Structure formats: structure tokens, C-alpha cells
Amino acid sequence: MPLHRLARITMGVPDVDATHDYYADFRLTALGRGRFASADGGEQLKIVHAARRRLDELVVAADDPDDLGRIGTALDRLEMPFVRDGHCLRAVDPGTEVTVTVEVQPRLVQPAAGSVPCNGPGRAERPDGRAPAVLREGAVRPRRLGHVVLGSTDQAASRRFFTDGLGFKVSDLVPGAAFLRCSTDHHNVLVQQAPVPFLHHSSWQVDDVDEVGRGATRMLEGHPERHVWGLGRHHVGSNFFWYLKDPAGNFSEYFADMDCIVDDQLWTPRVWEDARSLYSWGPPVPPSFLAPEDLAALMTGAHDAS
């Protein structure tokens, strides 16, 4: 696949300072002027002012300029406008109203996390010692940006834009939503039918389920209002999850152990219509996860600047 990762996002929010403090607490590294880096991915988040919360830009990495040419040809076939500028191409998805920029960038090579010994029935991999996970004291730092979930007023058009236009692959489907990938991750973008375009959540990779739990637990110390849903494990994508809420109303997710699709020929997309479309195990799904509490306000423009 010539596309190889979700490189960075720009998030628009009404209160930049409060949102900045939240993502610093989330343990992204502040670079100044609303910019943040993950441990492995470099600069991957920018926060700017907007009248209502939204995803302003999504940047996808490609291998070389020829890939941009092929994407331009595909967008022409779809009669979708774009701008080509050197080693980047920009187009707006009409359903999510997000500007998607495809940039020529080198591939990311992540240092592998160390293997963790685990005891089990008939298996003692760490005899006479405590689990390394319970001895961890350092802060949990997101390794890289994994995916975003976007509300689209025309989910079918958004899906065509990302797949037929940009070259994303379909990994799985649920009613009204498509899990799409531009890397070996099971999904990098999920577009779901919604009454208004909005950012549902951004998702950030950590090493393992203990880091998911440790990171979320620390985020909730003194801030119980940040909790949304977790700890649990998704069936679609298989990843462990814990969702939190930033001051603007966007959800942020710590995730670990996502399905990895290396050979497209060995993966068969499926349509999931039962509870597995949401999760394999975990607490009951809160209504606010399915329909964020500010969705009606976003629809009526209550968050727009006066």
C-alpha cells in the first residue's frame, strides 16, 4: 500500500488553553503553539481555535510523488476537487468536511516494546517475582496516533472519498459505518453516519493493556468527569480500549493490541451487526458514547461564535 500511516491531525476547539492542558496531561509532549508529539510518531496533534469542536485537518503519509499523481487521477474520476502543491495533495471530504492532506513522508519504524513474561495455567514464565507491569512507575506516553472516528452527513460519499479516491482499504463494516485503513493497522479512519460532521474520537497507541489501564487511571485522578468508557476490548479490531473526554467534548482513546493486516489477500472484511460491532467485553456501552451529549448543540449551532 503506497499510503503508510496516519501522520497527524489538527483539532479545532473553542477553548484552546483548556484542551491544551488536557492533552499535556494525556502525556503527549507539548512542542509549543498548540502542537504535540507522541513518543514515536513525532508531531501528531495541533490544537487551534474554532467556533465549535471539529477535526480541521487529517494528514496521511504516502511513499512518493507518483502516489499523489495516482490519487489526483482517482479524485478526478470521482469529480472531487483537490489542490496539488509539490509533495502534498489536499482535498475536502464532503461528508465529514475535513481537509485531508496526503504528504510524501518516510515510513515510521517503531522500536519494539519489550516482551513481558506472563504466568498462566501450566506455565510459569516469571517464577519467584512480581509481574513487571505492577512495578512500572514511569508515566504512560502514547507511542503514536492510531486512528480517528468521524461523523459524516453522507457516509457513503465519505467512504468513496477515502477508498476510491485516496486509496484506503476497507477492513470491516458495521451498519452505518466503515473501518478503513491506510497502514497495517486494522483501521486508521472510521466514518459513521451522523446528523452533523464532528470528531468522535482520536486514538493513541500504548504498549499493552496495563499501559491502557495505568494511563486512564492517572487521567481520572481528580477528574472523574473525564471517564467515558473502559476498560474493555473491541471485537472489530481486537484492541483493548479506554475512552476519556477532553474539555471540548472530543473523546480520546488509549489502545493496545490492534489487529495488524500485513497481507490484504489474507484478510476478509465482514459486516458486524450484533454487540460485537461495539465490543467483545467490558462495561455496558454508555449512551453518551453512541450519541455524544453535545450532539444536539452541534446540530443547532449552539457552539458557534456569536
C-alpha span between 114 and 102 (Å, rounded): 32
Beta bridge pairs of residue 233: 240, 281
- 3 state SS of 233: strand
Whether the CB-CB separation of 63 and 71 falls below 8 Å is answered with no
Q: In whole angstroms, how far apart are CA 242 and each of 9, 44, 202, 282, 297?
A: 20, 20, 12, 10, 25
Q: What percent of the chain has pLDDT over 90?
A: 94
The order of strands in the sheet holding 35-38 is 29-32, 35-38, 42-49, 3-13, 54-62, 99-104, 88-92, 83-85
254: how many CB neighbours lie within 10 A of its CB?
29
Q: In whole angstroms, how far apart are CA 55 and each of 13, 28, 72, 126?
A: 9, 18, 23, 45
139: how many CB neighbours lie within 10 A of its CB?
9
Measured in whole angstroms, the distance separating CA 258 from the mean position of its chain's CA atoms is 12
**First-last CA distance in the chain:** 45
Residue among 201, 197, 216, 219 nearest 301 (CA): 197
Q: Per-residue confidence at 240, pLDDT binned at 50, 70, 90?
A: very high
Q: Per-residue confidence at 300, pLDDT binned at 50, 70, 90?
A: confident
Residue 193 in grid coordinates: 453516519
pLDDT at 305: 43
For residue range 78-118, list pLDDT tens digits in order: 999 999 998 999 999 999 999 999 999 999 999 988 888 99
Q: Per-residue confidence at 187, pLDDT binned at 50, 70, 90?
A: very high
For residue range 192-219, list pLDDT tens digits in order: 999 999 999 999 999 999 999 999 999 9
User: Has residue 298 got a pLDDT over 60?
Assistant: yes
Q: Per-residue confidence at 306, pLDDT binned at 50, 70, 90?
A: very low
